[in-house]
Amino acid sequence: MYVMMVAVVALLSAACGRMLPGVTLSPPLTALVGGRVQVSPDLDAIADGIVLIERDTITAIGPRASARIPSGATVIDSTGATVVAGFWNSHVHFTQPVWAAAATAPAPRLGDALRAMLTSYGVVHVLDTGSFPDNTEALRRRIESGEIAGPRIMMASGSLVPVGGSPYYVLPARLPEASTPAVTATLVDAALDRGAEGIKLFTGSWASPRSIVVMPIEIVRASTDAAHRRGKFVIAHPSNSAGARVAIEGGVDILAHTFPSELDRRPWDRALPGMMRERGMALIPTLKLWPYELRKAGAPPDVTKRLLGNGQEQLQAFAALGGQVLFGTDVGYMTEYDPTDEYVSMHEAGLSYAEILRALTTAPAERFGMAARTGRLAPGLAADIVILDGDPALDIRALARVRSTIRAGRVIYTNR
């Protein structure tokens, strides 16, 4: 059957080429018809809307009654669904064995893995916050060539640690130690030369299950100076309040996590959300990660509840000050892919549906300099779109119930 179809397609292309010289086929048109269309987090949804797509770009949006569906368009019935901009996950990793040898691995294996981890949850953009850069680069190349359906990948690499601060959980591997400002600048330049969009630091690093090594501020400063000189951002893994404070004071742009840990049961540092807001930093909550890690460590339920509560308080305090929140889960390190618990925890922390949608769309588009092309639904912008079953304004869990994911006009996931 497959062979026959290939033969027929080849014949058709050959026939078109001979019979219609100089004629190009009309551009593919798609119409999403009948959904609640949420063009941006801060505007009311269009109740019975239509989105028209031509190739990779949105060409029209409005109430269904106001639009004519062009003949020849592929119609995607969106009745009962909510249509929103494509999602970012700003904290992912490609370190599981399924991503190995991405340059030569069979495309279906990588495509299935991307679907399971990301695109089936509406993700069209990711920030890889530390994997194997050459491997991620190979995966990115194969996605961008169109061979494999997947998200657009940005990378923050380097993964610099303070002296003696390589995380115990990556053993036997050791991450590069930033020993002096000069060494640090060289490591940053090398990571950026290899094509990374940003730099990852461990400003507070779990060197053992009971100790966190904090990066000296002059090393943090050397990293941010070297990255900013080249117009690149720095993202830091804080671990606790001391690791967050040195990141903030050292000029880091994004915290990769909240920082709920209480070594010696010291309460978290409540000055930090305000300091982050003043400096225009962004925060990635990764709230689901805390119960996940504590479960693995066999922590009692009251400890889990308290530490998750700390993370939620940090998120709540920062968001209430108008701080920029970027959605991210640490998926790929975390082997549970479903983001539902992250949405529920953010919502419980007091973030509204609009604030969570902002963290998934407009906030990362602005942070990563792509707001002119994506992050909202508008004519002229990229057709990066998620079609959700149900209405997340009524049930936040609907953000994880995805019917279809469209990246630049191409359906990269559908459950129907």
Nearer to Zn ion, 292 or 333 (CB): 333
Nearer to Zn ion, 143 or 334 (CB): 334
Task: State the helix-helix crossing angle for 217-229 and 181-193, rounded to 10 degrees.
Answer: 40
Nearer to Zn ion, 286 or 324 (CB): 286
Shortest distance in whole angstroms from residue 199 CB to Zn ion:
14
Shortest distance in whole angstroms from residue 129 CB to Zn ion:
5
Nearer to Zn ion, 330 or 342 (CB): 330
What Cα–Cα distance (Å) separates residue 395 from each residue in 307, 327, 340, 405, 406?
25, 18, 11, 20, 22
What Cα–Cα distance (Å) separates residue 47 from each residue in 11, 35, 50, 64, 122?
44, 7, 10, 9, 21
Residue at shortest CB range from Zn ion: 330
CA 360-366-367 angle, to 5 degrees, is 85
Strand ranges inside 261-368, DSSP E? 282-283, 324-325
Nearer to Zn ion, 54 or 330 (CB): 330
Residue 16 structure tokens: 């078109």
Helix residue ranges, H only, 20-144:
107-117, 133-144
Q: What is the distance between the alpha carbons of residues 377 and 384, in angstroms, rounded to a whole number?
A: 8
Residue 203 structure tokens: 């400003």
Shortest distance in whole angstroms from residue 200 CB to Zn ion:
8
* Residues that bind Zn ion in the complex, under the rule CB under 5 A: 330, 333
Nearer to Zn ion, 14 or 297 (CB): 297
Shortest distance in whole angstroms from residue 298 CB to Zn ion:
22
Decide: 124 and 404 in contact? Cβ < 8 Å. Answer: no
Shortest distance in whole angstroms from residue 330 CB to Zn ion:
4
Shortest distance in whole angstroms from residue 313 CB to Zn ion:
21
Nearer to Zn ion, 31 or 284 (CB): 284
DSSP 382: B
Q: What is the distance between the alpha carbons of residues 347 and 340, in angstroms, rounded to a whole number?
A: 11
Q: What is the distance between the alpha carbons of residues 47 and 36, in angstroms, rounded to a whole number?
A: 5
Pairing of strands 204-208, 211-214: antiparallel
Nearer to Zn ion, 128 or 355 (CB): 128
